[in-house]
């Protein structure tokens, strides 16, 4: 038996639903950085979470913690217990029966990241069945709202790329979020103005949602949408690919952005946060000490 502190703010979905004030991108990026740091600690210990979704991120006095490590196992362990998880957060290669890896956790982080920033539950209005699994393997992803800054949209897409090798490493993800967390307050950075514009739009949507009770409508999920872990066993799913259908995503209308640019470039034009070796060491110095 394990005795843990009670997280009075509930999970990520509870936390967002209970919020009475608009939460800006700056605050959300800070919390995403903390979640990424927790995932980095898990991966640095040689483990994978294997059941990473918003229901397993708990809030204790507004600080997020990764929970439910019951399925957390060494990355090299080849389990035979089947594939368990919450379908919307599971990487396509895992849906096809392959083993969980650190990259699969990163895919889940991308889904969580978009859910946190958009405050929309992924695939809440459709059945979580084999058809959805097929569409995910064919490149379907949750929509990215237009008001989410391009820098952040790129980061989300890098995390949920269908090609495992194209996804960010956990340490790189943490470092980029740390870098962005500083740039959002720098008036000389492009990100500062993207965040400002996004927050203006997001704040208006939040106020309208509160007055029209839109939030309660958003959580009216399809009766076959399942957000608890279960055995997933779909046969003959297609090979995972990235969708070339721009309708699967939404971006700022003033850009010539294409999905392929994000998929073929290690750091896309939008996510132009090339970090020097010195900056990387400074950002993650405390992390390195703890890991070693």
Residue 287, in any domain of the structure: no
Task: Give the CATH number for residue 182.
Answer: 1.10.510.10
Token readout for 94 is: 């895992």
Residue 241 contacts by C-beta under 8 Å, 6 or more apart in sequence?
A: 137, 138, 139, 162
Token readout for 59 is: 């809030």
Provide the whole-model pTM.
0.81
Integer Cα distance of 207 and 99 in angstroms:
43
Please give the pLDDT value at position 83.
83
Please give the pLDDT value at position 286.
53
Please give the pLDDT value at position 288.
52
Q: Alpha helices of the chain — where are they, by DSSP H?
A: 12-18, 25-44, 92-95, 102-118, 130-137, 150-159, 170-183, 190-212, 214-218, 259-264, 277-283, 285-291
Residue 257, in any domain of the structure: no
| Secondary structure class of 217 (helix, strand, coil) | helix
pLDDT 10s digits, 121-168 = 999 999 999 999 999 999 999 999 999 998 899 999 999 999 999 999
Residue 282, in any domain of the structure: no
| Secondary structure class of 34 (helix, strand, coil) | helix
Please give the pLDDT value at position 72.
56
Residue 290, in any domain of the structure: no
Please give the pLDDT value at position 35.
96
Residue 114, in any domain of the structure: yes
Question: By residue range, what is the domain housing residue 150?
Answer: 10-210+220-246
What's the domain count of the chain?
A: 1
Residue 145, in any domain of the structure: yes
DSSP labels for 129-198? SHHHHHHHHTT------TTS-HHHHHHHHHHT-SSGGGSPPHHHHHHHHHHHHHHTT-TTSHHHHHHHHH
Residue of 240, 243, 244, 263 lying closest to 95 (CA atoms): 240
Residue 262, in any domain of the structure: no
Please give the pLDDT value at position 16.
84
CB contact at 8 A, 60 and 12: no
Residue 130, in any domain of the structure: yes
Please give the pLDDT value at position 81.
59
Q: Which regions of the chain are under pLDDT 70?
A: 1, 70-82, 210-219, 245-292
CA distances in angstroms from 107 to 49, 53, 119, listed in the order given = 12, 10, 18
């Amino acid at each position: 038996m394990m005795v843990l502190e009670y997280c009075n703010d509930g999970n990520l979905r509870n936390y967002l639903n209970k919020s009475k004030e608009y939460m800006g991108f700056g605050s959300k990026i800070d919390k995403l950085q903390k979640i990424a740091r927790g995932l980095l600690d898990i991966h640095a210990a040689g483990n994978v979470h294997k059941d990473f979704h918003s229901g397993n991120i708990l809030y204790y006095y507004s600080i997020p913690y990764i929970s439910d490590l019951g399925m957390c196992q060494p990355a090299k362990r080849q389990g035979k217990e089947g594939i368990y998880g919450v379908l919307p957060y599971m990487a396509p290669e895992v849906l096809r029966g392959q083993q969980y890896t650190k990259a699969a956790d990163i895919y889940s982080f991308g889904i969580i990241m978009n859910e946190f920033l958009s405050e929309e539950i992924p695939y809440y209005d459709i059945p979580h069945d084999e058809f959805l699994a097929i569409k995910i393997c064919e490149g379907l992803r949750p929509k990215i709202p237009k008001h989410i800054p391009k820098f952040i949209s790129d980061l989300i897409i890098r995390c949920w790329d269908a090609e495992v090798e194209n996804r960010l490493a956990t340490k790189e993800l943490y470092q980029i979020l740390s870098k962005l967390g500083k740039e959002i307050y720098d008036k000389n950075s492009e990100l500062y103005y993207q965040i400002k514009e996004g927050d203006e739009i997001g704040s208006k949507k939040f106020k309208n949602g509160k007055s029209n009770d839109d939030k309660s409508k958003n959580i009216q999920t399809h009766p076959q949408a399942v957000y608890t872990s279960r055995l997933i066993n779909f046969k003959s799913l297609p090979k995972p690919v990235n969708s070339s259908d721009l309708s699967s995503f939404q971006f700022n209308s003033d850009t010539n952005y294409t999905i392929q640019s994000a998929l073929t470039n290690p750091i896309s034009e939008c996510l132009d946060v090339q970090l020097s070796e010195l900056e990387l060491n400074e950002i993650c110095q405390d992390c390195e000490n703890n890991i070693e």
